[in-house]
């Protein structure tokens, strides 16, 4: 498993990380890089290297599989994340969760703020905390600002499940894991979620496991 040397210059460290080919190894909870907070990206990488790194993030995300991946999750403490969600879910799940397809997007230096008062709570997982899910109440609508990989400004309102994805990935860049915001009484293995809590909403789980919903 290749890991970038923490003492090498940033470009060299990313070249080391990319050298074995993708998908990249995903850092698991407990590694300090997931808690340190990521540095503001200000063009430190040559365009070609940035493009290769972004593509490696995408390949890694899709291979996992997941719908988002932040640079710290592969050991690179930069404020860069990628998202993509084909949303292959039944209509009842789509309607309950507001889960609609999202094209591939690159988020550079993203920040979010609530765009409305409503909260939505659903089971959520993380590639850096494999095997488990927990219910997280998040803003149902957020305004996301930042840039894309070409430096073009991003200022967009996300709702439903896409809002959850961008909050989750931006939290990674601030050193937060979804468990920091979760109802810990809801913590369940992936198998248990599949077998017992696969309903469109977590209402039944909240009743059985005795945790509040907004």
Q: pLDDT by residue (tens digit) across 119-148?
A: 999 999 999 999 999 999 999 999 999 999
Binding site as annotated, residues for Fe cation? 126, 168, 172
What's the gap between Cα 109 and its chain centre?
14
Q: Tell the burial category of 122 from Cβ atoms under 10 Å away from its Cβ (0-12, 13-18, 19+).
A: buried
Q: Which of 147, 169, 183, 204 does the annotation list as catalytic?
A: 169
Give the integer Cα–Cα distance in Å for 90 and 108: 32
Q: Phi first, then psi: what are they for 8, rounded to 5°?
A: -75, 155
pLDDT of res. 6 = 54
Residues 63-105 have pLDDT tens digits of 999 999 999 999 999 999 999 999 999 999 999 999 999 999 9
Domain ranges within the chain, ordered by starting residue: 10-209
pLDDT at residue 1 in the model: 42
Say whether 92 is catalytic. no
Check residue 22 and give its pLDDT: 82
Q: What is the secondary structure of the chain as a DSSP string?
A: -----TTS-HHHHHHHHHTT-SSPPPPPTT-GGGTS-PBPP-S-S-HHHHHHHHHHHHHHHHHTT-SEEEGGGGT--BSEEEEEE-----HHHHHHHT---EEEEEEEEEEEEESSS-EEEEEEE-TTSTTEEEEEEEESEEEEEEE-TTS-EEEEEEEHHHHHHHHHHHHHHTT--GGGTEEEEEEEEHHHHHHH--SSSSHHHHHHHT----
CATH superfamily of 10-209: Peptide deformylase (3.90.45.10)
Annotated binding-site residue numbers: 126, 168, 172
Q: Flag whether pLDDT at 5 surpasses 90.
A: no
Tens of pLDDT, residues 6-56: 556 899 999 999 999 889 999 999 999 999 999 999 999 999 999 999 999
């Amino acid at each position: 498993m290749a890991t970038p040397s923490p003492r090498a210059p940033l470009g060299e460290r990313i070249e080391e990380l990319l050298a074995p080919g993708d998908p990249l190894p995903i850092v698991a909870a407990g590694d300090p890089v997931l808690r340190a907070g990521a540095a503001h990206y200000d063009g430190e990488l040559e365009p070609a290297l940035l493009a290769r790194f972004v593509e490696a993030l995408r390949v890694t995300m899709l291979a996992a599989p997941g719908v988002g991946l932040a640079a710290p999750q592969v050991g690179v403490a930069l404020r860069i994340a990628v998202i993509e969600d084909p949303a292959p879910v039944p209509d009842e799940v789509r309607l309950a969760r507001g889960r609609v397809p999202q094209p591939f997007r690159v988020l550079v230096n993203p920040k979010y703020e609530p765009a409305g008062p409503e909260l939505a709570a659903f089971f959520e997982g993380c590639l850096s905390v494999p095997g488990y899910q927990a219910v997280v109440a998040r803003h149902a609508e957020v305004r996301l600002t930042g840039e894309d990989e070409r430096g073009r400004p991003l200022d967009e309102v996300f709702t439903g499940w896409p809002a959850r994805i961008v909050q989750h990935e931006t939290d990674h860049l601030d050193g937060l894991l979804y468990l920091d915001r979760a109802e810990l009484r809801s913590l369940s293995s992936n198998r248990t979620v599949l077998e017992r809590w696969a309903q469109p909403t977590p209402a039944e789980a909240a009743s059985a496991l005795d945790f509040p919903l907004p």
